[in-house]
Amino acid sequence: MNFTLNESRIVEKIKTYDTIIPVPISTKRKMQRGYNQSFLIAKKIAKSLNLEIINNCLYKDKNIIEQSKLNKEDRQKNIQGVYKLINKEKLKNKKILLIDDIYTTGSTVNECSRTLRQAEIKEIGVFTIAKD
């Protein structure tokens, strides 16, 4: 993580956002794994750059087949409608940086972004650690 946070142009871009939101995982998955990797990444970035992290507005409402086990077309179908939004007022008029661990087809971040737009936000950016 430090290599990324030492890149001044990346840091300056991240600092243009008001808040960071990690891509949520289902409660069942979190219990199995013991953590949400996107939350851990978001927490480190938020702490290092003194940014707000909001982890109680976007949540994964359904358990689905793991995206990594599906092809591109099936991933898009699988992820539709699985995220829900609560506490919308916390996000209104904010610039949000959505954090995910890996970007493969974009299905997950696209679905999260679609859901977040219900809160009348200003802008959504996406930050991932890896691209498959």
CATH number for the domain that contains residue 18: 3.40.50.2020
Give the closest residue to 99 by CA, choosing from 118, 132, 62, 124.
124
Q: Is the pTM of this model over 0.85?
A: yes
Give the closest residue to 103 by CA, choosing from 80, 129, 122.
129
Give the closest residue to 20 by CA, choosing from 66, 63, 79, 48.
48
- Domain of residue 80 covers 2-131
Q: How many domains does the chain have?
A: 1
What is the full per-residue pLDDT of the chain (132 aa) written as tens digits?
A: 454 566 788 899 999 999 999 999 988 889 999 999 999 999 999 999 999 999 999 999 877 777 777 777 777 787 888 999 999 999 999 999 999 998 988 889 999 999 999 999 999 999 999 887
Place of tokens 């008029």: 93
